[in-house]
Chain A
C-alpha cells in the first residue's frame, strides 16, 4: 500500500461516511416515530392511573406536541453538535446513559470477539490440516452444534451447569454487589462474571470462524502456489502459516469486520440472559418504552461503529494481501 495515497483515501471515505450516517439518522428517526405508541402513552399505561392532563403534560415536556419535521430538525441540529438529546423518561442526558453502559458491552463483546477469532481460526486450521481424521470430525461436529444452537439456550445450559450444579461461577450480573473489592480481587471477580456470557456469545462466532477457516484453507491448499512451495522444499509449518493461512484469512477478515460492527448492538440476547448491564439491553428497554432519544442515540453509535469498522477492514485487506489496493 502506498502511504501517500492514504490521506486522500481517508478523506473521501470520511465524507461518504458522514453522508451515510446522516441518512441513517433521518431514516431511524422517521422509522421510530412510525411505530404506534409514544413515551407518554407508555408511561400512562404503566402508571395504573392517568388523565388527559397527565398525558398532555408529558407530551409537552417530551416535545412531542411539536410537528414531526420540527422534532426532526431539533434532533438533527443536536446530532450535528454531537448532542444526542435528553431522555425525559429517565431524566438523564442520552450520552450519559450510553456512556455508562458502553464499557460493559465493549468488554463483553470484545472478549467474545477475541476468544471467537483466536479459538475459531486455530480450530479451523487444525481441522483443515487433519482433514478426514477423527480430530477434524470432532471439531466440525462441535462447530456445527454451536452454530445451530440458539444463544440463549446455550447460555441457560452453561448457567445450569457452572452456576447451579457446580456453583463455580455466578449466573448473572457484572460484579459481586454489596462487597468492596479492589485491585486484583475486583479484576478476578469481573473475570468470573465475564466468563459465561463471553463464552456464550463467543461460541457462535467461534463456530463460524472455524468453519470458514477450514473451508478456505482446504480450498487454498489445493492451489498451484502451495504445491510449488512444497516442491521447492519449504517446511510444512511455514507452508501452512505463510502460504495457506495468510491467503485463507481474507474471508475471515471480511466476516470479522461485519462482526466488529455489531459489537455494540449484537449482544442483546446474552445481555438479557446474564443480566449484563450493557447497551443492548438499554436499546431494547428504550424500544419497549418508546424512549426515542435513547434509541436513536444507540442507533447512532452503532452506525458509527459499522462505518468505522468497514473502513478498518478495507485497510486491513491491504495489509494482509498486498495485491489489494485502497481505493476511495
Chain B
C-alpha cells in the first residue's frame, strides 16, 4: 500500500479536472461564464471567518472564499486544491505538500507556505477544538521553500489528510492575523481568502454577497459573476422562494423534509442527496448512562428494537437518508456491514424487558423516561413524538420536555438530561468523528463529547489501537471489533444516517462534484443558458 501511494497521489491530482470536464460534456453543455447564483443560508451565521466560527452555515459559505490544501471525493479520496501534490513517508510520519504557485489572496498579497504553517500551527491550534485535538500530534511543521510545507508527526496518524479540507483547516492569511487577537482582527469582519469568490457585502438579516475574484489561480474560473446568500428565517418562505425561482438553490436544512415530495414533482428542480459523505451525520437517541435503568444494556437493546427506522426514514424524512445500522455510517471509512443492530421487533423488545424484570404497572407502564426533543426545527419534534409512540409500545413512558437551543446545549453539556436526540458529523474516519462519543477518556461536560458517560475498557482499547495503527488493515480489524461490541451494548440508540437534500434549478450545473457537496468553492459551478 505504502509503495504505491506516490503513484496514487499523482493519479488523484489529474482526476478532478478530467472528471469535471467530462461531466459537463456528458450533459452536452460547455461551462458558461456569467450570472449570479442566489442561494439561502440558514440560520444566519454570526461571522464568516472559518475557524473563528465552525457552525454549519459558515462551513457552507466560507469555502467560497477560503480553501484548504485538499478536498475529498465522494469516496473520500483526497483531491488536490491549494496543495497540487503531496507525499507521505513509508512510516506514515512525514507529510510533504507541494503548493500551487501563482495563488493570490483577495487583497493581492501572494499566498505562500508561511500562510499554511501559520494556519496549521497557530490559527487553528488556538481557535478550533477539533483541529487542536489532531494538530497536537505535529512535531514540526515548516516551510522548506515558498511552495513546500513539510510536516512531521510524533506518531503515525492515518486519517491525518482528512484534516486538510477547508471545513477542517482552511488556510488563512498570515499577514492579516499574525500578532493580533484572531477573534477580533478586522479580517474577521471582511474575510480575505484565496477562494474563487471575494467578500463584498453583508447586510445582516438580509443577504451576503460575494463577487468573482478576477485573480483566482484556476485559469478561466470561476464561471459565476457573483454568489448571493439570502437570509430567510421561515421555512415555508424558503420553500416559496425556491418554488418561485427567486433563489436557485437550497442546501442543508433550508427545506423541511415534509416539503421535499412536492418539490420533487416540479420539473425545473433537481433534488440531490449526495455530497454529505465527508460529514456523514449520524443521528441517535442520546442516552445518559447515569440514569437508571438506562445503564442496563438490555433496556437500551429493547428500546432500540422498539424503533422502526424504516418508518422514520420513509414517513418523517420522506426517503432522504438511510436507517442506521451501527455507530459508523456506511459512507464513513471502516464501516463494517456485518455489524448490525437488532432488527425492529416489538415482541422481542417486550420479552427482553419482561425477562430483565421490568414489569408493567396497572397502566401498562414499566418505567418513565424524560426526553428533550432537539430544538433545531419542526422535523426533530416529530421524530421525538414518534419515539414516544414507539416506546409506549414496549411499556416505556417517554415524557417530552421542550427547550430552545441555548438550554439544550447547556443541559446536554452538563449531563442534565435523561434522553434526547443528537446528531454528529463523522468527518470521514471513525477516529475523527465516532471515537469521541464512546471512549471514557472523552467524558466531559461539553456537548459532542461522551456526554452519555458510557465506559467500557475494551472499547477504549480498540479505539486506541485503531487510532495508533499506521496500516489500514490493522485499523479495520480494530474498528470491526469495536462495531461488533457496540451494536450489542447500544450505548446510544442510532437512528438514521442523515442526508440533506440539495435542491436546485436544473440550469445550475456542477453543484455536487465531491464528498463535500455544497461545502466547496463552487469555482466550477455555472448557469446553463
Contact = CB atoms under 8 A, between A and B. Distances in A.
Interface of A: 35-38, 41-55, 61, 88-92, 97, 100-101, 104, 152, 156, 159-160, 163-164, 167, 170-174, 177-178, 271-275, 277-278, 281-282, 285, 287-290
Nearest to A100: B204
B209 interface: yes
Given A37-B409, A275-B233, 20 more contacts: A37-B410, A43-B55, A45-B408, A47-B53, A47-B54, A48-B54, A48-B55, A48-B130, A49-B129, A49-B436, A51-B444, A54-B446, A89-B46, A156-B236, A172-B237, A273-B234, A281-B233, A285-B233, A287-B404, A288-B404
A170 B406 contact: no
24 contacts: A37-B405, A45-B405, A46-B56, A46-B409, A48-B56, A48-B130, A48-B448, A54-B446, A89-B46, A101-B204, A156-B236, A164-B243, A172-B230, A172-B241, A173-B206, A177-B228, A178-B36, A273-B237, A275-B206, A275-B230, A277-B203, A282-B204, A289-B405, A289-B406
Contacts of A91: 46-47, 52, 183-184, 188-189
A52 B446 contact: yes
A47 B56 CA distance: 7
Nearest to B423: A48
B43 interface: yes
Contacts of A281: 205, 233
A4 B152 CA distance: 84
A31 to B, nearest CB: 14
Contacts of A47: 53-55, 129
Contact of B446 (A42, A44, A100, A173): A44
B44 A285 contact: yes
A35 B240 contact: no
B409 A173 contact: no
Contacts of A290: 406
Contacts of A288: 404-406
B129 A275 contact: no
B450 interface: no
A178 B409 contact: no
B113 interface: no
A44 B132 CA distance: 15
A148 to B, nearest CB: 21
B287 interface: no
A278 B233 CA distance: 12
B205 A278 contact: yes
Contacts of A278: 205
Given A97-B204, A274-B237, A35 B246 contact: no
Contact of B444 (A35, A46, A52, A174): A52
Given A47-B54, A49-B448, A90-B47, A277 B231 contact: yes
Interface string B210-237: 0000000000000000101011111011
Q: Give the 7 A-B CB pairs with smallest separation, nearest first.
A: A45-B409, A37-B406, A277-B205, A37-B410, A277-B206, A49-B130, A275-B232
Interface string B402-414: 0111111111110
Given A90-B47, A156-B236, A277-B231, A36 B410 contact: yes
A296 B273 CA distance: 41
Interface of B: 36, 38, 43-44, 46-47, 52-56, 128-130, 132-133, 183-184, 188-189, 203-207, 209, 226, 228, 230-234, 236-237, 240-241, 243-244, 246, 403-413, 424-425, 436, 444-449
Contacts of B55: 43, 46-48
A37 B447 CA distance: 12
Given A41-B410, A42-B406, A277-B231, A51 B133 contact: yes
A327 to B, nearest CB: 42
A278 B241 CA distance: 19
A205 B482 CA distance: 63
A141 to B, nearest CB: 27
A51 B134 CA distance: 13
Contact of A42 (B52, B132, B405, B449): B405
Contacts of B189: 91-92
A90 to B, nearest CB: 5
Contacts of A61: 183
A160 B136 CA distance: 54
Contacts of B240: 156, 159-160, 163-164, 171-172
Given A50-B129, A159-B237, A171 B244 contact: yes
Contact of B406 (A36, A101, A174): A36
Given A51-B132, A275-B231, A288-B404, A163 B244 contact: yes
A230 to B, nearest CB: 53
**Which of A45, A55, A100, A274 has most B Cβ within 10 Å?**
A45
Nearest to A37: B406
A173 B208 CA distance: 12
Given A41-B447, A289-B46, A100 B203 contact: yes
B172 to A, nearest CB: 15
Nearest to A58: B183
B445 A52 contact: yes
Contacts of A104: 205
A46 B424 CA distance: 11
Contact of B410 (A38, A48, A89): A38
A171 B246 contact: yes
A160 B413 CA distance: 42
Nearest to B405: A288
A104 B205 CA distance: 10
Contact of B205 (A88, A89, A282): A282
Contact of B407 (A35, A50, A89, A90): A35
Contact of A101 (B56, B132, B205): B205
A290 B206 CA distance: 21
Given A36-B406, A275-B230, A290-B406, A50 B203 contact: no
A76 B436 CA distance: 42
Contacts of B243: 164
Nearest to B243: A164
A286 B400 CA distance: 25
Contacts of B424: 48
B75 to A, nearest CB: 22
A173 B56 contact: no
B415 to A, nearest CB: 13
